[in-house]
Amino acid sequence: MLLHFLRALACVLALIAAPAWAALDPSLVAQLGAEDSDARVEAIRKLVATEDPRVVEILKALDGDALALIDSGKRAVVVADGKLSDAATGQPAGAAPANLETIVINNRIRGEVGAALAALRLGSSDRAERLAAAKELQGSDNEDALPILERAMAKEADPEIKSILALASASLALKSSEPELRARAARALAASNDPQVRQLLATMLTKQKDGSYNEPDETVRAAAQASLAEINARLRTTEIGLALFSGISLGSILLLAALGLAITYGLMGIINMAHGEFLMIGAYATYVVQGLFRTHFPGAFDWYVVAALPVAFAVTAAVGMALERGVLRWLYGRPLETLLTTWGVSLLLIQASRMIFGAQNVEVENPGWLSGGFVLGGGYVLPFNRIVIVLFALAVLAAVWLVINRTRMGLFVRGVTQNRAMASCTGVPTNRVDMLTFGLGSGVAGLGGVALSQIGNVGPDLGQSYIVDSFMVVVLGGVGQLAGTVIAAFGLGSIAKFLEPWSGAVLAKIMVLVFIILFIQKRPQGLFALKGRSAEA
């Protein structure tokens, strides 16, 4: 009680003293670099309580590795562009010495700084900034921020921010010494979706080492239990939706990996073991385009992925056509030799990329619009890159379908696939069609590579991890059928994702393989089979 009174008094004093903030206590600022983390936390909390406008700058510097101690640890300075300025006053303090070491912070301090900055931003005039600050404060345990929070709540007009602030102050009230207040806070928190709040409530219900509960009062525990159950029930639908989405997302990746193969293997009947390496070439093309954008058009960096699409398509299509003209066309009708040859080509391509780009993975950065995600509540997030990849897979699928079914070239492809001799008789240049079809299949694989570079590794072995999955999808879907490939990709993705929570990732993979073996036993032609005379060819 006394503590609370003192704290309130300190706040009042701080408010009275407000017009005279000019001087922050330099020793308090220097305490931010103390050896002991407890002392640092204390310094942060005290600095926030002063509400001095300089505090924001100091804390931002601390967060950004730009605060350092000089004069044998007595004075804190902000380092910017090789120049120093006194942290407490903002006055310039000369040039930075060469071996100046900034203050290193760990997760505990980083969390504390984040909450402190959020508390200070609550007074901002920008609504988005206040909203972000209020969200950050949910689940914080900095009791010193309570007065700031309460004042912000009184001033706040926006109902959304106000309700979040109410939840934030409720989670702080869980620390109150009065059971009545704690129980009320626990009941109020039922409306929260924040994962930190769930953690706070769950902690109250667990036992300490000596067997007593963390929360001594039984009525408070009951209230916490009820709130927790309510939150969990609300989040259950979100969880199911999320599992469904991960299935679709995995399916879209399988589809992108397998679509090119559905053309080269499905339509042309070439067993191309180097298919995975076309994915890899597409991913490396993305990496190269990223490098070009970084050096030549840094302003448009966010759009490098879009620019990488045509590049990746062109490069892989060219490699594919070269492979078809140079090697594969001599091997038509000899599947075993084709298999071995393309496997050799795949090894060649892997080693070539290892020599050009090195054995290590290269970094492909997600552009801003592909980072982060769509927040569902309860801490669940739909990542933007996965949403975009699902849409992209559908777009590529639509494009391939249009090419095959609605263009003259597509007509030739279908004609050659169904009856090569007859197509040739009617004047279709079958050699050219073979080359272009193989190029199309390879190019589509290159597009898949661009997408894969956004979620996984870009390295010489990238293709190896997708080749088996791709063949699985095409064989399961039925050779020669785009629709089968689509259904097989999404089906396998969803099955894998629904099995995973129960069986674990290792067993899920085995179960999917067993399922495919059984299915192929029963239906060797796959989900969809070509009908008519062409089927025997």
Asked if 461 is part of the footprint of another protein (rule: CB under 8 A), the reply reads: yes
Count the site residues for another protein by CB under 8 A. Answer: 68
**Which of 55, 37, 177, 197 lies closest to 119 in space, CA to CA?**
55
Q: Pick one of 26, 310, 377, 456: the residue that binds another protein (CB under 8 A).
A: 456
HSE-CB at 288 with a 13 A cutoff on CA atoms is 15
Q: Pick one of 14, 226, 331, 381: the residue that binds another protein (CB under 8 A).
A: 381
Give the x/- contact pattern for another protein in 336-355, rule: CB under 8 A: --------------xx--xx
Q: From the CB of 175, what's the least distance to another protein, in Å?
A: 16
Asked if 125 is part of the footprint of another protein (rule: CB under 8 A), the reply reads: no
Q: Which of the residues 506 through 525 are near another protein (CB under 8 A)? A: 506, 509
Q: Where are the alpha helices (DSSP H) in 35-158?
A: 37-50, 53-63, 107-121, 127-137, 146-155
How far is 223 from 174, CA to CA, in rounded Å? 11
Asked if 431 is part of the footprint of another protein (rule: CB under 8 A), the reply reads: no
Q: Which residues contact 352 (CB under 8 A, 6 or more apart)?
A: none
Asked if 91 is part of the footprint of another protein (rule: CB under 8 A), the reply reads: no
Residue closer to another protein (CB basis): 120 or 250: 250
How far is 355 from 364, CA to CA, in rounded Å? 19
How far is 231 from 254, CA to CA, in rounded Å? 35
Our measurement of the distance from residue 185's CA atom to the centroid of its chain's CA atoms, rounded to an integer in Å, reads 34
Helix (H) or strand (E) holding 280: helix 275-296
Report strand pairing: 92-95 vs 83-86.
antiparallel
How far is 161 from 134, CA to CA, in rounded Å? 7
CB of 265 closer than 8 Å to CB of 479: yes
Q: Pick one of 124, 424, 464, 525: the residue that binds another protein (CB under 8 A).
A: 464
Q: Pick one of 375, 395, 402, 535: the residue that binds another protein (CB under 8 A).
A: 375
**Which of 434, 358, 380, 344 lies closest to 240 in space, CA to CA?**
380
Q: How is residue 90 written in tokens?
A: 């903002």
* R_g over Cα of the chain: 31
Q: Which of the residues 92 through 111 are near another protein (CB under 8 A)? A: 101, 104, 106-108, 110-111
Stretch of residues binding another protein (CB under 8 A), selected from 16-24, 118-126, 364-372, 421-429: 364-372
Residue with tokens 């900055």: 117
Asked if 377 is part of the footprint of another protein (rule: CB under 8 A), the reply reads: no
Q: From the CB of 335, what's the least distance to another protein, in Å?
A: 27
Q: From the CB of 74, what's the least distance to another protein, in Å?
A: 23
Q: From the CB of 395, what's the least distance to another protein, in Å?
A: 21
Q: Pick one of 25, 141, 239, 302: the residue that binds another protein (CB under 8 A).
A: 239
Q: From the CB of 410, what's the least distance to another protein, in Å?
A: 33
CB of 138 closer than 8 Å to CB of 167: yes
DSSP string, 154-180: HH---HHHHHHHHHHHHHHHTT-S-HH
Q: From the CB of 401, what's the least distance to another protein, in Å?
A: 26
Asked if 356 is part of the footprint of another protein (rule: CB under 8 A), the reply reads: yes
Q: Report how far apart, in Å, the C-alpha atoms of 285 and of each of 282, 316, 360 are.
A: 5, 9, 16
Asked if 51 is part of the footprint of another protein (rule: CB under 8 A), the reply reads: no
Residue closer to another protein (CB basis): 89 or 464: 464
Give the x/- contact pattern for another protein in 245-264, rule: CB under 8 A: -x--xx--x-----------
Q: How is residue 249 written in tokens?
A: 């997302």
User: Binding residues for another protein, per CB under 8 A?
Assistant: 37, 65, 101, 104, 106-108, 110-111, 114, 195-196, 198-199, 202-203, 206, 209, 239, 242-243, 246, 249-250, 253, 350-351, 354-366, 371-373, 375, 379-381, 383-386, 455-461, 464-465, 496-497, 500-501, 504-506, 509
